[in-house]
């Protein structure tokens, strides 16, 4: 069983479109995250949810909106996609403070 699973793995779309990435974890963790990895491999946190409540919201354009229907799911919706949104997006989950995060396989988003 995959601990943290993301769909889709690859996403190619045109500028201006709206797309969603789904994430599910079966580890029973309360905290979930979205990270963005750019072309230089730099990883930056975007959002964090704890038990469906938003606790971290870094400086991310309003076009990005996370949704957590329950503590096992954290989806990312992106409106009006731009070329600069092209990146790999990772979902992760963890137990509370101090513990490691478990990562999904990533979603490679390419905006053309």
State the residues that interact with other proteins by CB under 8 A: 4, 31, 33, 40-45, 48, 50, 55-56, 90, 92, 94, 96-106
Residue number with CB closer to other proteins (14 or 40): 40
CA distance 37 to 108: 9
Residue number with CB closer to other proteins (101 or 111): 101
CB 37 → other proteins: shortest distance, Å?
9
What's 97's DSSP letter? T
Greatest C-alpha distance within the chain? 39
CB 64 → other proteins: shortest distance, Å?
17
CB-neighbour burial class of residue 93 (10 A; exposed 0-12, middle 13-18, buried 19+): buried
CB 16 → other proteins: shortest distance, Å?
27
Residue number with CB closer to other proteins (12 or 15): 12
Is the Cβ–Cβ distance between 101 and 3 less than 8 Å? no
């Amino acid at each position: 069983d995959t601990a943290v699973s993301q769909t889709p793995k690859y996403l190619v779309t045109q500028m201006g479109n709206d797309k969603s990435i789904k994430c599910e974890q079966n580890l029973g963790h309360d905290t979930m995250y979205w990270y963005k990895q750019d072309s230089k491999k730099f990883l930056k946190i975007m959002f964090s949810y704890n038990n469906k409540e938003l606790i971290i919201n870094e400086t991310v354009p309003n076009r990005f909106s996370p949704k957590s229907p329950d503590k096992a799911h954290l989806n990312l919706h992106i409106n009006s996609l731009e070329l600069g949104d092209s990146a790999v997006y990772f979902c992760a989950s963890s137990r509370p403070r101090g513990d490691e995060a478990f990562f999904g396989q990533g979603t490679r988003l390419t905006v053309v």
